[in-house]
Structure 1
């Protein structure tokens, strides 16, 4: 089994892990039945579906028809710009209001595309 499309493979693995996490977390709530759903019913099946779809994506990345791609290096400046603009928006929300804070969020986040 050779991984031809690394982006699809690793994103599928991420979906499987998130789906399994949600399904396991939902088991702490009562499940109920399909007719009388409990609070854990929907998150359990949503996590299960996400895990199954992630498995299909990962398996599709190993097929002969998959296009060959590699995962590029992680770009830390973009992450810092985006996280910084979100944190700044949260800090300035009480002082400047919603409109100006969200405008600054969008304006500062736009610099991430130019890095």
Structure 2
């Protein structure tokens, strides 16, 4: 943990969060066929980003001498490349394979990249999150997400 970098990063993300909040106010509040408007997600993303940046700022102020105690760790470029590649593929193929399958695969690969030993738990969590979020957003909030691919429902 580098206290100086954390402080500057917290200001940067506070600016990003506030920008999302302000920008979301200019987006239409309702969408055709959906109870949830397109302004909801950017607004709450901005709120969460702003709150987390404030927390990061105060945690960087509280950290005393921890920077010297921690050894410099080498960066893990392989894990970074896997996560970056998975994120790119998720964005490219989300419409084609659907939200539930795409999110399940994205989370599973991400969890396995972080910790390969817990694959049953990773599978269960990935499945529960992807199906749960889809159900809540589409069925309860009446939003729209890409469904299952057409080749699967034949």
Calculate the TM-score normalised by the size of structure 2: 0.41
- Could you tell me which runs of 5 or more consecutive residues in structure 1 were left unpaired when the two chains were aligned: 1-6, 30-42
Matched, 1:18 2:16: no
- Could you tell me which runs of 5 or more consecutive residues in structure 2 were left unpaired when the two chains were aligned: 24-45, 117-154
Which residue is 1:105 aligned to?
106
Structure 1 contact 85–108 (Cα < 8 Å) conserved: yes
Calculate the TM-score normalised by the size of structure 1: 0.51
Task: Mark the CA change 1:52 to 1:77 in structure 2 (over 3 Å): closer, same or farther.
Answer: closer
Task: Using the TM superposition, give the Cα deviation of residue 75 of structure 1 relative to its aligned residue in structure 2, in angstroms.
Answer: 1.3
Segments ≥4 residues shifted beyond 4 Å: 21-26, 50-53
The structure with more radius of gyration: 1
Structure with more contact order per residue of length (Cα contacts < 8 Å, sep ≥ 6)? 1
Task: Using the TM superposition, give the Cα deviation of residue 105 of structure 1 relative to its aligned residue in structure 2, in angstroms.
Answer: 0.7
Give me the CA root mean square deviation: 3.8
Structure 1 contact 13–58 (Cα < 8 Å) conserved: no
Structure 1 contact 17–51 (Cα < 8 Å) conserved: no
